[in-house]
Each structure stands twice: as structure tokens, then as C-alpha cells.
Amino acid sequence: MPRTILEPRFHVEYLSILDSDGNLDAALEPKLSPGELRSLHRAMVLARRFDERMVRLQRQGRIGTFAPIKGQEASQLGSVITLRATDWMVPSFRETAAMIWRGWPIEKILLFFAGYVEGGRPAPDQRDLPITIPVGTQLPHAVGLAYAAQYRGDDAVVMAYFGDGATSEGDFHEALNFAGVWHVPVVFVCQNNQWAISVPLKKQTHSKTIAQKALAYGLPGIQVDGNDVLAVYTAAREAVERARAGEGPTLIECVTYRLGVHTTADDPTKYRTQEEVTAWEQKDPLTRFRAYLEKKDLLEDGLEQRVDEEIAEAVRRFEATPPPDPLLVFDHVYAEMPPHLRAQREELARWLREGGAPAPEPPEAPQGATPMRGQRLTRR
């Protein structure tokens, strides 16, 4: 029998509207009002200045390790602005810009990166999941949210963020498979910043694009210039509208670049060249969008100063926040606290009431003795 073609040859589109040289495809230019463009630019500037301030705070020991977003502002903000407040946003660990747009107070984000779980807790009426550190594990959760919305007849859309490194995890493939099978309203936004910590994209996959991975699971995939906020917005708006209309999920690959460190515990000079970084700096999403707005006479005077003042005030509020109750560590783990945790909580509460004095050392056991159950054997 002759060979039969089951599917025509797949194709993957690439979308760019405003390139790094300032060339604009007016036919594809989205219809954003002057107010919307100014709000978008302000959000991008705020995200960049806050990111730079966080690096200084971390180097000063005032917050802990975090993942900077410098260079990825367009990928996050161009997509997240297409969501309604009633939609869901599911972040990984590098979505500071998207979180601020969704209403997370700056001081709360700082509280999280200072090590307090309260900083990662969304407001009661906020349809966002907390920051997710394990790579890719949030993606099946996002599909579950979308399935629940579909089941309830809610018109909410779920937008899930992740990096190129997450596409090497099984969670990514499981999530896309279930999203395709269930035809749920979820938009997967991959910020392909070229590096999974120190592993370049070419060592992660032999596929020409990440977007094409969607085709195996029966959903559309598109690659966009992730430093072009207009292109990201256009692709995300189409994907969100398609999901809300019951037409299923989409994978958007935003081709961007991490201009800074992977986290503040990383040294990228060990694995990438300055020439590569310099080349990508010429494609900076803020520089490109600023030039676009300048031609439209939409730039705001004194914007950077106002943004810096807003950040400084948030830092003051963060550092004035009283330490949280240590007993909260036992909350939100089980629906009903098991006896062993209840006992530990009561013991910690008693210890705190008594001033938090250190527990006395048990008596030293004789040489060669075997400790009784619950007794600690100490040697000096």
C-alpha cells in the first residue's frame, strides 16, 4: 500500500510588529489608546526600576535571593494586560512585572523575597496563584484551574508563565496534553530567554522552535518577538479571546533574553559571553517602546523619578512591617491539623510565651551508653 499523508505539513508563525530598529508594521499595529500605551510604558519602567532596586537590596542583605526580570518586561506585560481581573494568572518565579500589574503591592513582593510566606499569599479576592519555585510544577495546576472554570461555566481564562527550561520538564508536556484533550481555556506563555540557568536552548531541544511543541498536543502555537510589547499583546489578546470563546488553549513562545543573572546567586559570566549580552541589549524592550511612544508624543516627563519615589515608599513600608506570628507556619497545610502538628504548635506557643528561652541540654550519657527513646545522646 502507498504511504498516506495523515497531516499536511505543519507550520509555525512568527510575529513581530515593532522591531529593534524601530520599524513598525502599521498594518499589524494594535489599536491601543494613548492612555493604555502610557499605562503599559509606566508598568514597564516600574518593573525595570523595581528590579534594579531589588538587586541593590539583595546585595545589601535586606532581602534574599530572587530572580531578576531585566529584559523580559515586554513578554510579561504585553501578555498580562489582556486578562480581566476575573481571569487567573499563574506565575513561576520570575513574574514580578506581571504580579505588579495584577495588583500585588511592591512591599508584599519584597516581604516574600525576605523569606516571609505572607508575602506570597494572594489577597482573598485575587485570582492569582503564588510564586512557584520548582520548575514547571505550576503548569498542571493552571490546567486544573482552566478545567474547573470550564466545568462551572465560568468564562475565566487562565494564563500560565514559564521559561524555556520548563519545556524540558515532564510537567510541561503533561499540562499541554491535558489542555489539548480537555480543550480548556488556558494560555501558556513561555518566556524563552535562551538560558535554563547555564544550559543554552540548543542543548535543551532539537526543535527549531518551542512553539511547535504545541502541535503534537493538538493546540496552536505561535512564536513572537518577546521584546516587542506590541507583538506580545497582539498574540496574547488573540489567544485569550480564543480561549474565552471556547476554542481551547494556545502556546505562545516569547523570544526574549535575560539581560541579568538567573538569580542573585548566579554568575552568568561563567557560561555566556559579553558579546552575546551586548547584542541583546540592542534589542532592549524598554528602549524600543520608548522610541515608539516618542514618535507619538506620548512620553511622560519625570516618569522615572515618580516611579523611584513609589518604589522607595514601598521599601519603607516593607521594612516597617512587624515580624509575622511564627505560629502561622502551621496554617494552610492541612484542612484539619493532625495531632502531631497540633502538639508541635502547642509546644512552640508555650516556648514563645516563656520568652523563647533555649531548651536545656539533656544530661550527658555515660561513654558507650545507648540513649533511651526520645533521649539525645551527646558526646564532647
Query: So which residues are the catalytic ones?
Result: 258, 262, 271
Strand duo 250-255 + 88-90: pairing: unpaired
Element holding 253 (H helix, E strand):
strand 250-255
φ/ψ region of 258 (left if φ > 0, alpha if ψ in -120 to 50, else beta) reads: beta
Does residue 334 sit in helix, strand or coil? coil
237-250 in b/e form (b: 16+ CB < 10 A) is ebbbebbeeeebbb
Enumerate residues 6+ apart whose C-beta is below 8 A from 219.
176, 179, 180, 248, 249, 250, 251
The grid cell for 245 is: 470563546
CA 43 remoteness from chain centre: 16
Question: Cβ distance 136 to 65 under 8 Å?
Answer: no
Helix then strand count (H, E) for the chain reads 11, 8
325 to 121, 161, 348, 349: CA distances (angstroms): 15, 32, 11, 10
Q: Are 277 and 259 in contact (CB under 8 A)?
A: yes
Q: Half-sphere exposure of residue 300, counting CA atoms within 13 Å on the CB side?
A: 16
**DSSP state at residue 216:** G
